[in-house]
Amino acid sequence: MASFIKENIKLSLSSIRAQLLRTTLTVLIISIGIMALVGILTAIDAIKSSINSNFTSMGANTFTIRNREMDLRIGENGRKPKHFKNITYEEAVRFTKDYSFPAVPSVSTRASGAGTMKYASKKTNPNIRVFGSDENYLATSGYELDRGRNFSAQEVLYGNHVVLLGKDVVDALFTKKEDPIDKIITIGSGKYKVIGTLKSKGNSSGFGGDKVGILTLNNVRQYFSVPNMTFTISVLTDNAQLMDAAISEAMGTFRVIRQVRIGEENNFEITKSDNLANMLIGLIGKATTGATIIGVITLLGAAIGLMNIMLVSVTERTREIGIRKAIGATKKAIRGQFLVEAVVICQIGGLLGIILGMAIGNLISFQLGVGFIVPWVWIISGIILCMFVGLSAGLYPAVKASKLDPIDALRFE
C-alpha cells in the first residue's frame, strides 16, 4: 500500500511539472483560502490572548460594585446596559466599614476621561484618564509601583495634592530621563506633587492602562466634583476560591446600605474583573465563525477549479490511461493515481496558505504585544480540510478516468 501511494505521488509530481502554470494557479486559489482561514483565526487567537492578558492584570481575585450593568451593545438591536441610581460617597465609605469579609475594599471615582497634564514645557495629549482613589486602589486594580510610594491614609483623608502617574504619562512629561518623584505637575488648574510612578500594564486592545493619573479620593471630590458623582467599590479577596463567598457577603452588605427590600432586585451591579473579557471573547467567537465561513467558501471555489483541472487532465491524458490499462493497470490503480494527484495539489496549496496565514496573523500578534503564536488547531484543521477538498474534487475525474475503455482510449487523438 505504501509503495502504491509513493508511486502515485511520483506520478502526480511529474504531472504537476508538465502542467506547471495551470497547477500553480490552482495552488494559489487553494492557498488564498487557507491563508484567509489560518490568518484570520491566528489573529483572533492573538486578540483573545491580548484581552485575557489585559484583564488578568486587573486581578483575578477582584470584583467591582458599580451603579451600571457591564454590557457590550453591538448594533442598533443590542441590549442596553441597565443603569441604577448613583453610588454616593457615603454609601461607598460605609461599605468599606461594614464589610466584614476578609478582603481588601477600595473606593474610587473618575475625575476625567480626557485629562491633560503638564510639566515645564511638556504636555500630554488630552487622553489621560484621571481617577480619585484611596490607598487600597493599587491592590484592587492590579497596578504596581515602579518608583516612589503609595498614598497614605492621611493624604487620602485630607485630599492632599499628590499624584501617581502611569508609565505613558511619565514618558510624555519627563523626556530627559529625569526622576519624576517629587516633581510638581499641573492637572487641570491644580498643582500636584508626583509621589509615585506605576509599572506598565500595557495599552493592548485600546484599554490605555498606562495613560492614567491617580489622585487622592477627597481631592477629586473637592476639585473635580460634578453633580451626581458616582463612586465605584472594588474588592480584592485573598484567593479566587473565596470569590463567590466574598461576592455573596458584599451583596448582602450593600443591599442593607442601599435599603433594598427582601424580594426586590439589586439596584447595583457586581462584576468580576474577567466578565468584560469573557463578553469580548464571546463576541470574537462570532468573528471566528465568520472567518471560517469565508475560508470554506474560498476553498469551495478552489475545489471547483481543481475539479475542472482534473477533468481537463483526464481528457489530455486519455492515451496515457489507455496505455496503462493495456499493460495491466487496474481501475483501482488509475483511480488512485488521479485522486492522489488532486490531494497533492491541495496539500501544496494548503502548506503555502498555512505559512502565509501564520505570517499575517503573527504580524497582528506582534502589534498587540502578544508574541509568536502557532495555531496548531487551525494548522491541523487546514491540512485535513485540504485533504477533504482534494478527495472531493478529484473523485469524479478519477472515477471517470478509471472507467475509460482501454481500446477507445488508445484510439484517442
Are 406 and 308 contained in the same domain?
Answer: yes
Listed ranges 92-101, 233-242, 325-334, 349-358; the one with the highest mean pLDDT: 92-101
* pLDDT tens digits along 386-406: 888 888 888 888 888 888 877
Both 164 and 180 in one domain: the answer is: yes
* 263 and 297 fall within a common domain: no
Question: pLDDT value at position 2?
Answer: 64
Q: Are residues 228 and 155 in the same domain?
A: yes
Query: Quick one: pLDDT at residue 164?
Result: 96
Q: 159 and 199: one domain? A: yes
Beta strands in 140-268 (DSSP E): 145-148, 162-165, 184-187, 190-198, 212-216, 232-237
From 246, 272, 298, give the residue that closes a domain: 272
Do 227 and 295 lie in one domain? The reply is no
Q: How many CB atoms lie within 10 A of CB 259?
A: 9
Calculate helix-pair angle for 318-326, 331-367, nearest 10 degrees: 130
pLDDT digit string, tens, across residues 239-274: 777 888 999 999 999 999 999 998 889 989 888 766
- Residue 264: count other Cβ atoms within 10 Å of its Cβ: 10
- Residues 248, 182 share a domain: yes
Choosing from 230, 254, 272, the residue where a domain stops is 272
Q: Which domain holds residue 257?
A: 62-272
Is the domain of 233 the same as that of 87?
Answer: yes
Tell which residue, 135, 142, 57, has the closest CA to residue 96.
135
265 and 318 together in one domain: no
Instruction: Give the residue from 36, 44, 46, 35 showing the smallest Cα distance to 356.
Output: 35
Helices (H) and strands (E) in the chain, counts: 13, 12
The last residue of one of the domains, among 272, 290, 305, is: 272
Is residue 254 located within the same domain as residue 297?
no
Residues 260 and 155 occupy one common structural domain: yes
- With 0.75 as the threshold, say if the pTM is over it: no
What DSSP state is assigned to residue 103?
E
Q: Which three cell numbers stand for residue 35?
A: 491563508
**What digits encode the pLDDT tens for the residues 187-196?**
988 999 999 9
Q: Are residues 285 and 140 in the same domain?
A: no
Q: How many domains, the chain? A: 2
